[in-house]
Amino acid sequence: MTRSLITGGFGFISSYLTPLLLQAGHEVILLDITSNEGMLAQLGDEVKAVRASVADWAQLAAAVRDTRPDIIFHAGALLPPASEDYPQAAFPVNIEGSYNVLEAAAPLRCGTGRVRQQRGLLRAGCPSRACAQ
């Protein structure tokens, strides 16, 4: 079973990605600075939640180390209008957070270890067709 970690786990993209991954037989871990009890209740026991920030290297590294995902879907970000109104707050999340995700994924060294950008969603990990399986 593929273990998938989604940053921004309680966000808009994740609310659509999580059911797709579950249908494909993935074990899903949602990483976010917030929680959504309603979403967790709807998904049931099939999903694990980890409270952490992509902007905090120690939190993110510990979460990745502890959960050992096969693939990381990076959807954690501070979006407009907040990111435009408060660019100083957006930088650590959007820029440093993306860097932290890539660095946290590096020691996993699974498969080819490819990292690529897909329609605004950064994906790091081994399966080339994670959602298709």
Residuewise pLDDT in 10s, the chain (133 residues): 889 999 999 999 999 999 999 999 999 999 999 999 999 999 988 899 999 999 999 999 999 999 999 889 999 998 889 989 999 999 999 999 999 998 998 887 654 444 434 445 555 554 444 444 4
* b/e 28-47 (16+ beta carbons within 10 angstroms → b): bbbbbbeebeebbeebeeeb
Q: What is the pLDDT of residue 106?
A: 85
Q: Domain-by-domain residue ranges, the chain?
A: 3-125
Rg over CA atoms, the chain: 14
> Cβ(6)–Cβ(28) under 8 Å?
yes
Distance CA 99, CA 36 (A): 26
| Residue 53 neighbours by CB under 8 Å, 6+ apart | 33, 59, 60, 93, 97
pTM of the full structure: 0.84
CATH number of 3-125: 3.40.50.720
Place of tokens 């907040």: 82
